[in-house]
Amino acid sequence: MNKKEIYGIEKALIQKVKGKDRLEKVLNLLLENQYIRGLQEEANKVAIVRMGYNDHGPVHGRIAAFNALRIYELLATKGSVEIEKIGDLEDSKVCILMGAFLHDTGISVVREGHDLIGSIITRGVVEEILEKIYKDSYKVARLASLVSESILCHMGAYKATSLEAKIVEAADGTDCTKGRARVPFHIAQPDIHKFSALAIEHVDIRKGEKKPVKIEIDMDNPAGIFQAEEILLKKIKDAEMEKYIELVANIKGEKKPFVIL
C-alpha cells in the first residue's frame, strides 16, 4: 500500500463527510475495521502480485467511494433509499459510501466472480457497522441489501436496479489514471490496458453543461481513449447512467476535447 496515496485520499474522503453525523461515523468504522483492511490488502495482493492487474485494494476503494459521493451530490436527485422511503438523503450516501468502499473485496478470494463473492463475505461486517448507527433492525436489513447490491452489480454481470448501486458501478470506472497502473506495469507483461491507463493523467468530476455530471479525462496521448471507452464508458452505459453523465477527453496537443459521451 502506498501510504502517501492512501493518506491523501483518506483525508479528502474524511473532509467530504465532515459534519454529516451518520456518514462520518460510518466512514470512521470502515477505516478502523481490521477485517475490512485485511480483505482489501489481500485483494490487492491477489490482483497485483499474483495476477499482474492494477490496484484493487485500499486506495482504489477509497477513490471509488469519494467519486461516487461526488457524482451523487452533482446529480442533486433522490436516490432509491429516499424514493422508497427506507431513509433520507444521508442514508443514501451511507449506502453509496459503503458499497463503493467495499466493492472489490471479493478479489481477496478470486478475480472471476469477485462481485458475488464480495457481496457474501462483506454482508456480516456491513450489518455490524450499520447496527452501530441505526437501532432499527428492519432498516439495517434494507440498507445492507442496497450495499450488497452495489458490490454485486459493479461489474455488470448482475443488473443494478437502485440509483445508489448504479452510481457505484459508474464511479468504479473513474479510477483510471496512471497511478492505478504503475505497479503492475513494472511487474507484469505490458498490454493495451496498461499502456492506456498510463496515458491518463487526471480525471475531473464536476457539474455538467448539458447533463448533471461531467467527467473530464486529461491524457498525454490518444492511447487513453481505449481505457475511457472500454472501462469507464462501458460501466456508465451498463449502469444506465448515460442520461446523467457527459464524458470527454482532453488529449495533449489537441485543441478540441474529444467527446466520448
- 170: in domain: no
DSSP 8-class letter at 190: -
Cβ-count burial 34-71 (b if 16+ within 10 Å, e if not): eebeebbeebbebbbeeebbbbbbbbbbbbbbbbbbbb
Whether pLDDT at 221 is above 60: yes
Helix 89-102 and helix 21-32, axial crossing angle in degrees, nearest 10 = 20
Q: Note the maximum CA span of the chain.
A: 56
Report the helix count and the strand count for the chain, using DSSP H and E. Answer: 14, 4
In whole angstroms, give the CA distance from residue 184 to residue 49: 8
In terms of pTM, does the model score above 0.85? yes
Tell me if 171 is assigned to some domain.
no
> The domain containing residue 236 runs over which residues?
178-259
Co-location of 217 and 149 in the same domain: no
Q: Do the domain assignments include residue 43?
A: yes
Say whether 2 sits in a helix, a strand or coil: coil
Residues 145 and 220 in one domain: no
- Write out pLDDT tens, residues 176-220: 877 554 444 444 555 666 677 788 899 999 999 999 999 999 999
